[in-house]
C-alpha cells in the first residue's frame, strides 16, 4: 500500500530501526526491493533521483513505482530524492509521490531555507512528506563538491540543523557526518557524536545518505544514535553488475532477460543483507 514517508518513519521510530530507501530506476531494482520488503513484512521507500533521468525519466518510471507501491502487501513510500528544482518536485507531487527531498545544501543558508519552505508548502497540498539537507555530503549525486575544503568542514553543524528544522517545518533531515555517495575508495569513518548531538537538538528523524558500503556495526551504531532512514543504492546496483558479468563470462547467453534475471537475483540478495541490518 502507498503511504507517506512520515508514516514509514513513524514505524521506524517505534520499532527503533532504520527504513531502507532504495533507488529503483528499473524493474529489476523494484523487484529486488519489494520482494524483500514483503518477505520481511517491513515498510520500505522507493526513491527516484534526478540523475536517473536519462535512462529512466520520472514521467515514465514514476507511475510504475506508484503502481508497484499500491500493489505491495507492505507500506511503501514513493520518494523523489535530491530534487534540485521546485519544478521537478512539483512534477513528482502531481504524479502522486508521497515524499520529496529538496536539496539546497549547496546554497547559502537563507536561500536553502526559503526554497525548502516552498517545497514544504507544495507538499502540504497533496499531504506528502518533505526531507531536506543541511551540510554537504561527499560524492554528490548531482553538482560538484566544493573544492578546497576538508570533508569535516562540510559536516552538518548541529546548531544550524536545529535552526533549519525550526525554520522550514520539514519531516526528515538529511545530515552529513562522514558518509559519501557512490562506491567508497577508503573505509568511511562516521562521526557518531555528531549524529547524537543533532538528534538531541531536532525532534524529527535523521537520514543517512550514501548508506551503501557502510559496515554492519556502523549501521547499527548510527541507528542507535537516531538514524531512521538509510539511502542505499550503489552497492546493490554494483552487485547486479557483478552477477551479469559473471554470467556472461561463464556462459553463452542469447537473451537479455537472462542477464536481467541474474542481476535481479544478485541485487535481491544484496538488499536482503542490508535490510536485515537496517530492520534489526
Interatomic CA distance for residues 156 and 195, integer angstroms = 9
Nearer to Zn ion, 199 or 209 (CB): 209
d(CA 111, CA 54): 28
Question: What's the min distance (Å) between Cβ of 210 and Zn ion?
Answer: 6
Is 167 among the residues known to form the active site? no
Residues 67-96 that bind Zn ion (CB under 5 A): none
Which region, judged by CB under 5 A, interacts with Zn ion, from 16-24, 113-121, 203-211, 245-253? 203-211
Least distance between Zn ion and beta carbon 82 (Å): 5
Among the candidate windows 19-27, 58-66, 72-80, 201-209, which touches Zn ion by CB under 5 A? 201-209
Q: Tell me how far, at minimum, the Cβ of 231 lies from Zn ion, in Å.
A: 5
Q: Which is nearer to Zn ion, 125 or 185 (CB)?
A: 185
Judged by beta carbon, residue 180 or residue 262, the one nearer Zn ion is 180
Q: How far apart are CA 4 and CA 78, in angstroms?
A: 8
Q: Does 209 bind Zn ion (CB under 5 A)?
A: yes
Nearer to Zn ion, 51 or 114 (CB): 51
Residues identified as active-site: 81
Q: Which residues bind Zn ion (CB under 5 A)?
A: 209
Amino acid at each position: 500500500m502507498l503511504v507517506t514517508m512520515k508514516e514509514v518513519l513513524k514505524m521506524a521510530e517505534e520499532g527503533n530501526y532504520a527504513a531502507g530507501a532504495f533507488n529503483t530506476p528499473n524493474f529489476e531494482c523494484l523487484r529486488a526491493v519489494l520482494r524483500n520488503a514483503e518477505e520481511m513484512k517491513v515498510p520500505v521507500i522507493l526513491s527516484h533521483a534526478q540523475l536517473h533521468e536519462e535512462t529512466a525519466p520520472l514521467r515514465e518510471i514514476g507511475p510504475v513505482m506508484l503502481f508497484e507501491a499500491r500493489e505491495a502487501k507492505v507500506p511503501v513510500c514513493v520518494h523523489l530524492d535530491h530534487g534540485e528544482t521546485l519544478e521537478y518536485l512539483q512534477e513528482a507531487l502531481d504524479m502522486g509521490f508521497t515524499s520529496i527531498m529538496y536539496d539546497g545544501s549547496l546554497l547559502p543558508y537563507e536561500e536553502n531555507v526559503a526554497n525548502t519552505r516552498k517545497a514544504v508548502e507544495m507538499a502540504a497540498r497533496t499531504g506528502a512528506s518533505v526531507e531536506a539537507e543541511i551540510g554537504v555530503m561527499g560524492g554528490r549525486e548531482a553538482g560538484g563538491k566544493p573544492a578546497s575544503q576538508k570533508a569535516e568542514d562540510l559536516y552538518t553543524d548541529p546548531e544550524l540543523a536545529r535552526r533549519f528544522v525550526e525554520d522550514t517545518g520539514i519531516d526528515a533531515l538529511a545530515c552529513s557526518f562522514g558518509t559519501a555517495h557512490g562506491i567508497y575508495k577508503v573505509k568511511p569513518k562516521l562521526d557518531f557524536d555528531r549524529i547524537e548531538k543533532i538528534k538531541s537538538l531536532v525532534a524529527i528523524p535523521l537520514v543517512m545518505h550514501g548508506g551503501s558500503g557502510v559496515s554492519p556495526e556502523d549501521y547499527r551504531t548510527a541507528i542507535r544514535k537516531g538514524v531512521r532512514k538509510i539511502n542505499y543504492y550503489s552497492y546493490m546496483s554494483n552487485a547486479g553488475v557483478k552477477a551479469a558479468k559473471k554470467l556472461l563470462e561463464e556462459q553463452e547467453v542469447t537473451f537479455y532477460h537472462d542477464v536481467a534475471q541474474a542481476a535481479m537475483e544478485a541485487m535481491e540478495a544484496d538488499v536482503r543483507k542490508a535490510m536485515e541490518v537496517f530492520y534489526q
